């Protein structure tokens, strides 16, 4: 009997992870490349990252893409551009050389991993933020509108608000707290206005580089900075509001509990935000908080296995 292999791809604003499992659900190979966020690296950049990851997996296992029984590919911003989506889907087909695959927004990977493909809502709070959930035959999303005017509660959102607080402290519009010096030291600036060239100049860090500054806000909050602490509190509130709105959209009754889990660095690696988020969830009384069961990329691979079984 031919051995079956399933590929899961979890794209993101900072990195893209690839995982191959066998028919028993056991991990066989893993790879990582840069972002597949086409709005940041362009269509060609996203496809190049996908090609590198698929190639790495195949090289580790001495197979070709044709040997994947099924692949599930989650991509950031997929489903949001009727012109680009078909191009990305077709590019994945060319990389694999067959049609045994599905493309969707990477939010689906977070849900499949955290809730093991069961009903409920998953909050993604990484570089950006979005909520995705399923209930019976319904699915839906809230948030994920992008960093320009949304992505509330995300690392990028936290970082931008921290930088805004820094400018207020520098101007004297707000009292200087620990955040002020923490940002100066982290960015290596002695003149506060050098911040503009550092972040907005031609060699600026870009979306993921800005998001990487979010831990500075958490560090300042731990050091007693009230402005930083307020930003983290608001982040937790914004993330819960995404879940609450989606809960209504999916048709959960007022007295019906909904499983709620999470993925992404903000809720996994920023204890202050996670602690406040959990407190808000408990106080709300509408959700059952569920620790993530699998990683998003493992969820993607398991979803590929389930979709193949349904063929």
The pLDDT > 90 percentage for the chain reads 95
pLDDT of the residue at 14: 85
Same fold, 5-116+294-309 and 128-291: yes
Beta strands (DSSP E) in 95-196 are 101-105, 120-125, 129-135, 138-143
Pick the closest to residue 152 from 132, 114, 179, 125 (CA basis): 125
Q: Is the pLDDT of residue 281 over 80?
A: yes
What lies within 8 Å, CB to CB, of 79 at 6+ separation is 85, 104, 105
Q: Are 83 and 91 in contact (CB under 8 A)?
A: no
pLDDT of the residue at 2: 75
Copy the structure tokens of residue 75.
């991509």
Across the range 254-279, mean pLDDT stands at 94
pLDDT of the residue at 291: 95
Superfamily of domain 5-116+294-309: ATPase, nucleotide binding domain (3.30.420.40)
CB atoms within 10 A of CB 242: 23
CB atoms within 10 A of CB 285: 8
* Residue in the structure block whose two tokens are 């997929």: 78
Domain positions in the chain are 5-116+294-309, 128-291
pLDDT of the residue at 102: 98
Local structure of 7: helix, strand or coil: strand
pLDDT of the residue at 13: 82
Across the range 195-217, mean pLDDT stands at 94
Report the first-to-last Cα separation within the chain, whole angstroms: 18
As a CATH number, domain 128-291 is: 3.30.420.40
Q: Is the pLDDT of residue 205 over 70?
A: yes
pLDDT of the residue at 36: 96
Q: Is the pLDDT of residue 97 over 80?
A: yes
Q: Is the pLDDT of residue 1 over 80?
A: no
d(CA 126, CA 146): 12
DSSP-derived pairing of the beta strands 138-143 and 129-135: antiparallel
d(CA 145, CA 143): 6
Copy the structure tokens of residue 208.
């993921």
d(CA 297, CA 311): 21
Question: Model pTM?
Answer: 0.92
Q: Are 32 and 295 in contact (CB under 8 A)?
A: no
* Residue in the structure block whose two tokens are 């794209």: 11
pLDDT tens-digit series, residues 157-179: 999 999 999 999 999 999 999 99
Beta-sheet strand order (sheet of 287-289): 138-143, 129-135, 120-125, 258-263, 287-289
Q: What is the mean pLDDT of the chain?
A: 96
pLDDT tens-digit series, residues 34-86: 999 999 999 999 999 999 999 999 999 999 999 999 999 999 999 999 999 99
């Amino acid at each position: 009997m031919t051995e079956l292999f399933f590929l899961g791809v979890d794209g993101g604003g900072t990195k893209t992870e690839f995982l191959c499992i066998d028919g028993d659900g056991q991990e066989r190979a893993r790879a990582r490349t840069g972002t597949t966020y086409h709005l940041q690296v362009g269509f060609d950049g996203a496809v190049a990252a996908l090609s590198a990851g698929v190639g790495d997996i195949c090289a580790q296992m001495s197979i070709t893409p044709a040997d994947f029984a099924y692949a599930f590919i989650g991509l950031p911003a997929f489903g949001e551009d009727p012109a680009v989506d078909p191009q990305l889907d077709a590019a994945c087909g060319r990389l694999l050389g067959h049609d045994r695959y599905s493309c969707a927004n990477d939010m689906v990977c977070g849900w499949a991993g955290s809730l093991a493909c069961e009903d409920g809502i998953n909050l993604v709070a990484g570089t950006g933020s979005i909520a995705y959930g399923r209930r019976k035959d319904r699915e839906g999303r809230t948030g994920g509108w992008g960093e320009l005017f949304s992505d509330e509660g995300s690392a990028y959102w936290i970082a931008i608000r921290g930088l805004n607080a820094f400018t207020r402290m520098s101007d004297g519009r707000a009292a200087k707290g620990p955040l002020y010096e923490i940002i100066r030291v982290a960015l290596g600036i002695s003149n506060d206005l050098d911040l503009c060239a550092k972040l907005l100049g031609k060699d600026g860090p870009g979306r993921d580089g800005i998001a990487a500054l979010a831990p500075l806000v958490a560090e300042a909050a731990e050091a007693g900075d009230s402005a930083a602490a307020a930003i983290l509190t608001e982040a937790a509130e914004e993330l819960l509001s995404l879940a609450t709105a989606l809960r209504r959209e999916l048709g959960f009754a007022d007295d019906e509990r909904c499983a709620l889990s999470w993925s992404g660095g903000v809720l996994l690696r920023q204890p202050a935000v996670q602690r406040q988020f959990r407190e808000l969830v408990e106080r709300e009384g509408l959700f059952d908080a569920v620790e993530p069961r699998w990683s998003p990329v493992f969820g993607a691979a398991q979803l590929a296995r389930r979709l193949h079984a349904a063929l």
